[in-house]
Amino acid sequence: MITFPNAKINLGLHITQKRKDGYHEIESCMVPIPLCDALEMVLDKKPSWAVSGLSIPGDSKDNLILKAEKLLKKDYQGLPSLQIHLHKHIPMGAGLGGGSADGAFALKLMNNLFDLHLDDFFLEEYAAELGSDCPFFIENTPKIIRGRGEILDPCSVSLQGSHLVLIHPGIHVGTKEAYAGVTPAAPKTSLEEVLADRSRWKDELVNDFEASIFKNHPAIAEIKARMYSAGAYYASMSGSGSSVFGLFDEKPNLPSWDASYFVFESQL
Neighbours of 61 (CB within 10 A): 9
What residues are annotated to the active site? 8, 133
Q: What stretches of the chain show up as alpha helix (H) in DSSP?
A: 64-75, 98-113, 120-130, 136-139, 175-180, 191-195, 201-204, 210-216, 218-229
Residue 82, helix vs strand vs coil: strand
Q: Which residues 6+ apart lie within 8 Å of 21 measured at CB?
A: none
Strands ordered across the beta sheet of 163-168? 234-237, 244-248, 163-168, 262-267
C-alpha dihedral sign at 212, 218, 220, 225? positive
β-sheet bridge partners, residue 248: 163
Rg (CA), the chain: 19
Amino acid at 157: V
